[in-house]
Amino acid sequence: MSTGELPPTSGAGGAASAPLHEPASIHGDDGGAAGADHSGEGVWRRAWRTLRRNPVAIAGFVIVAAFVIVAVLAPLIAPYGPHELPGRTDVRPTYIPGPSAEYWLGVDRYGGDVFSKLIWGARASLLVGVVSTLFGLTGGMLIGLLAGWFGRWVDFAAMRLVDLMLSVPSLLLAVSIAAVAGQSQMAVIVAIGVVQVPIFARLLRGSMLAQRGQDYVLAASALGLTRRSVTMSHVLPNSVGPVIVQATLTLATAVIEAAALSFLGLGGGEPSTAEWGRMLTAAQQELAVAPRLAILPGLCIAITALGFTLVGESLREALDPRNRTRR
């Protein structure tokens, strides 16, 4: 779907695209014509160029970059360590100190510095997001590839498994898996990753099937390429676009789902752990006293998810063949 920054004109089909078609000279196409400014540009490079000009994508990239920098440089930026509770002594049952020169965003119920915890939380989110997405991506690609490669009963079996996994709403599936995997951060990562597996598998398989029917694949096999090289050098490279878009969007989902699992008490660790979902959960008790304790981590989750979503959606748009102008 378009995210709206494209002028509506580009979508108008039919007559609109007619004048921009086929620059045939009077002598037909004599092999020379066509003055594309960016000649010799592959699909990915072209998408990159589109992205660079898209303000929505830039906003997304800025958010994602900021998030990654904060997460990576957390030890340098954060005034306190992830487990430190410097304000412990200041907290009273009826009073939680707000923002001050010492604690920029105040402290929480346990006496942790909220600012530091948010920074360390970015690190936890990045870890969960990236690892679980990689997990889902690898698993899904493997299943999708096997299904698309062997076809027949392997495909049938793989797709029934995928149907099965998709028949359980995602959060329930994640909860069930986390229950089996035990109380640890790794369990959360695995749970979120497994939930993504069927989505990636189905996406890749569908996309490969669509490519299979294209004439160029037929042409490649008619050229005498083996099945393996047709799949590896034509079908797969043309099928990964949607998968990469999905992976970007999954990074957003993973951050949100990780918070949801923490909220449900999965993932183990102390309630004072420097993790956005955990902070949000803990803040529930303090809603009337210190709403900032809920709002701040919530905003962090939302903004991070927004960043990945913006990048993913713009990428989808940039890769959409319908938006590619034929010259």
Partner 1 sequence: MLRLVGQRLLLLIPLLLGLSVLLFAWVRALPGGPVTAMLGERYTPEAAAAIEAEMGLDQPLIVQYGKYLLRLLQGDLGTSLRSGRPVLEEFVNRFPATIELTVVALIFAIGIGIPLGYLAARRAGTVVDHTAVVVSLVGVTVPVFFLAFILKYFFAVELGWFPTSGRMSPTMEATHPTNFYVLDGILTAEWDAAWDALVHLILPGIALGTIPLAIIARMTRAAVSEVQNADYVRTARAKGIRPARLRTEHILRNAMLPVLTTIGLQVGLLLSGAVLTETVFAFSGIGSFLAEAVFNADYPVLQGFVLLIAVTYALVNLLVDVSYGLIDPRLRRQQ
Partner 2 sequence: MSDEKNTMNEQRPAAGSGAAEAGAPETGVAKTGADDVVLRIEDLAVDFRTEGGAARAVRDANLVVRRGETVAIVGESGSGKTTLAMAVLGLLASNGSVAEGHIWFQGEDLGEAGPQHLARLRGTELGLVPQDPMTNLDPVMRIGRQIDEGLIDNGLRTRRDARARTVELLDEVGLPDAGRRASQYPHEFSGGMRQRALIAMGLSGRPALLVADEPTSALDVTVQRGILDQLSDLTHELGTAVLLITHDLGLAAERADKVVVMYRGEIVEQGPARDVLRNPRHEYTRRLMASAPSLASRRIEIARKRGLDDVLDRTLLAHEDGAADRGAAPLVSVRDVSKVFRIRGQGLLGRGKDFTAVDGVSLDIPRGSTVAVVGESGSGKSTLARMILDIETPTTGTIHFDGRPAGGSTQAERIAYRRRVQPVFQDPYSSLDPMYSVFRAIEEPLRAHRFGDPEARRARVEELAEQVALGKGLLRRFPSELSGGQRQRVAIARALALKPELVVCDEAVSALDVVVQAQILRLLAGLQEELGLTYLFITHDLAVVRQIADRVLVMQNGMLVEEGTVDEVFDSPRTEYTRTLLDAIPGKDLELAL
Residues that bind partner 1 (CB under 8 A): 1-4, 7-8, 11-14, 160-161, 163-164, 167-172, 175-176, 179-180, 182, 252, 256, 259-260, 263-266, 280, 283-284, 287-288, 291, 294-295, 298, 301-303, 305-306, 309-310, 313
Closest distance of CB 50 from partner 2, Å = 10
Q: Does 32 contact partner 2 by CB under 8 A?
A: yes
**Using CA atoms, how far apart are residues 118 and 218, in angstroms rounded to an integer?**
53
Q: Output the smallest distance, CB 248 to partner 2, in A.
A: 20
Which one of 1, 4, 27, 76 is in contact with partner 2 (CB under 8 A)?
27
Write the CB contacts of 260 (distance below 8 Å, at least 6 apart in sequence): 171, 174, 277
Query: Rounded to 5 degrees, what angle do the CA atoms 69, 123, 171 make?
Result: 125
Determine if residue 41 is left, alpha or beta; phi over 0 gives left, psi from -120 to 50 gives alpha, anything else beta. beta
Nearest to 92 by CA among 109, 112, 104: 109
Q: Does 295 bind partner 2 (CB under 8 A)?
A: no
Please report, for residues 108, 205, 261, 265, 267, the alpha-carbon distance to residue 277 in angstroms, rounded to integers and kept in the order given: 14, 34, 8, 10, 10
* Residue 209 binding result from partner 2, partner 1, none, given CB thresholds of 5 to 8 Å by partner type: none
Residue 287 interacts with, from partner 1, partner 2, none (CB under 5-8 Å by kind): partner 1
Of 80 and 200, nearer to partner 1 (C-beta) is 200
Q: How far is the CB of 17 from partner 2 (least distance, A)?
A: 8
Interface positions, 34-53, toward partner 2 (CB under 8 A)? 34, 36, 39-43, 46
Our CA angle for 231, 232, 235, nearest 5°, is 50
Q: How many CB atoms lie within 10 A of CB 160?
A: 10
The sign of the torsion formed by the CA atoms of 78, 82, 86, 89 equals positive
184 contacts partner 2 (rule: CB under 8 A)? no
Residue 206 or residue 298: which is nearer to partner 1 going by CB? 298
For residues 22 and 163, which CB has a smaller minimum distance to partner 1 in the complex? 163
- Give the contact letters, 198-237, x = binds to partner 2 (CB under 8 A), - = no: ----------------xxx-xxxxxxxxx--x----x--x
When the beta carbons of 1 and 18 are compared against partner 1, the nearer one is: 1
Which residue has 């920029």 as its token pair? 104
Is 204 in contact with 239 (CB distance < 8 Å)?
Answer: yes
